[in-house]
Every structure is written in C-alpha cells, then in structure tokens.
Amino acid sequence: MEISIEHMSEQIAKKILGWKYEQPFDFYNNELTYESFKEMLDGFYYALVNHNQALFGFFCIGESAQVPVGNQFGVYSDDFVDIGLGMNPRLIGKGNGFEFCSYILSHIENNYSGTPIRLTVAKFNERAIHLYEKLGFVRKNEFTTDFSNFIVMVK
C-alpha cells in the first residue's frame, strides 16, 4: 500500500473528528467542536492518505499526543518525541496496523534522529499494545484517570 503524509487540512480534520469507532474503541470517538477542530489545525497533526487520496489515518506529535492528566504523574518529564495516532475506523482489524505505524515511525525517526519516541495508549487496547511491542516499544509507566487507565510506552 502506498501512503503519504500531508499537513492537516480543514476538510481532513472534519472527517477525522466525525469518525465513529465500534465498542470498545468508541473510547477514541471525538466530537467536532471548535476546540478539537482548532487543535487538529495547530501544526502538530498530519494526515496519512493513500495513492487515491483516501484518508488512511492521522498522527500528531508533541503535547497534542499526550494525555494531559499524565503530567500530574510525571510520565512526560523526559525528553522524548510524543506521538499519537489514529487509523480510519473502516481499516481497523484488517491487518493494516503494522504498515501504518511503521510508516509513521519511519517519518518520526527521520525527522527527530536520535530522539527516543513515546506514546500513550489506553490499557484496554491490547491489540494496539501488542502491535507497539512488535514495533519495539516497551512499557515504561502507567497512570489512571477518571475515565481510563493508560500505559506509557517508549522506543
């Protein structure tokens, strides 16, 4: 599959904010609000599209990729590139995860050479955790919020 990275556009941001995942992944559903829309256009979000310009997914870097409550637990105190990602719900569970994540990691490693990478994942998302471990991530920290438990993984 041929994938490319584009800067987030208003049109793509609206599509992503309208994605609806099935349970238990509905945890990742967003709402199209002024704040969420503005955040996706802050320059730290990128879209992944295929050769037909169909939306494959997105990723973000920096504070946008962190769960804000994690700061209270000190899990973001080290110098890492934080990444967050989301795949088009129509493509989930069809064997696309490894290629999707590998492409993002390659981009991050090329642009932030030598800087370790960190991501935060909901603890219930065992499928994603398994994939991240296959990609070389290890569990570093855990924290709990009012709405979920999270694992912080580093590579």
Q: Is the pLDDT of residue 22 over 70?
A: yes
**115, 128 Cβ separation under 8 angstroms:** no
Q: What is the pTM for the complete model shown?
A: 0.93
**For position 1, what pLDDT does the model report?**
65
- CB burial of residue 147 (10 Å; 0-12, 13-18, 19+): exposed
Q: What is the pLDDT of residues 33-64, one digit of tens each?
A: 889 999 999 999 999 998 888 899 999 999 99
- Provide mean pLDDT across the span 10-25: 93
Q: How far apart are CA 123 and CA 149, in angstroms?
A: 5
Instruction: Residue count of the chain, please give it.
Output: 155
- Give the other-Cβ count within 10 Å of 99's Cβ: 12
The CATH number covering residue 112 comes to 3.40.630.30
Domain containing 147 equals 3-154
Say how far residue 79 (Cα) sits from the centre of its chain: 18
Q: Is the pLDDT of residue 66 over 80?
A: yes
Q: How many domains does the chain have?
A: 1
Q: Is the pLDDT of residue 82 over 90?
A: yes
**57, 131 Cβ separation under 8 angstroms:** no
